[in-house]
Amino acid sequence: MGEQASGRAIPAAPPAPQGKGSAKKAASRPAAKPSAAKPESRLAMVRRARRINRELAEIYPYAHPELDFRNPFELLVATVLSAQTTDLRVNQTTPALFAAYPTPEDMAAAVPEELEELIRPTGFFRMKAKSLLGLSQALRDDFGGEVPGRLEDLVTLPGVGRKTANVVLGNAFGVPGITVDTHFGRLVRRWKWTEQEDPEKVEADICTIFPKSEWTMLSHRVVFHGRRICHARNPACGACPIAPLCPAYGEGETDPEKARKLLRYEKGGRPGQRLSPPPDYPGLPAPPLGDPAP
């Protein structure tokens, strides 16, 4: 995805919508030189990747997990529910779910049909209910009702794979990890950090580029960028602060004014995905289920 063009100059990015000086830096940054026939070296790629991460840290200083949760159990359940749906829809669904089943013991004893009805808005509700019942029973019976803080334990739970485990470890336990979701995978391939398609191979490649201390926040920043600016079908290239570092520049809209209209969530002046965002989030909270967005 996104072959590097030959002989095409990549213009400096237009001012960023937000981000602690990134707009000023992006506007003053010289245009990238036309790409040469010589392929990018491993060292050059690593340097470019780390610079992108630094830029994203300035653009999204408030990057965070976009699932509402108050404890490891809630994050685990919300992450399982997030498969094949949006974090927004999960966040709109979980308040009633956790009011009914606040602990693993409560959820383990749930009537399947009642649990299914509560999570129906997230889609695939029968399969997800089976996973939630299974993981809750395992937490009750095998882990004393507590979510374990080790990857090798988490992946033994029904419905919990490596991606879900890394989300929980990184955001509930502070254990660094790369979370390879759809957005993360397509952006790191677009940026030529890896050519792998398999999530575990993508994770392995990216772990060799960045220090372990960066893994969790890198995941948030890349996902934020993918949801807000670097869309799958029509990326807002003309409004992207890291355009000069992107080998796929030009795949999307390059006109600055048209590109700004493609920005989403807080970058586009609209609500984010969390009903209860962190205090430093600069956008609007999402509306509850059934309420229209402002």
At 294, the pLDDT band (50, 70, 90 cuts) reads low
Q: What is the mean pLDDT of residues 73-80?
A: 98
Phi/psi at 29 (nearest 5 deg)?
-70, 135
- Which of 77, 90, 119 has the alpha carbon at shortest distance from 276? 90
Q: What is the dihedral of CA 88, 90, 91, 94, to 10 degrees?
A: 170
Q: What is the pLDDT of residue 38?
A: 84
Predicted confidence (pLDDT) per residue in 6-39, tens digit:
333 334 444 444 444 444 444 444 444 444 558 9
Q: What is the pLDDT of residue 223?
A: 98
Angle of helix 112-119 versus helix 125-142 axis, rounded to 10: 120
Q: What is the pLDDT of residue 7?
A: 35
pTM score, whole prediction: 0.86
Q: What is the mean pLDDT of residues 181-185?
A: 97
* pLDDT exceeds cutoff 80 at 147: yes
Average pLDDT, the chain: 90
Q: What angle do CA 226, 204, 158 make, to 5 degrees?
A: 80
Sign of the C-alpha dihedral computed for residues 33, 36, 39 and 44 taken in this order: negative
Cβ–Cβ contacts within 10 Å for residue 142, how many?
A: 12
Q: Where in the sequence numbering do the catalytic residues fall?
A: 163, 181
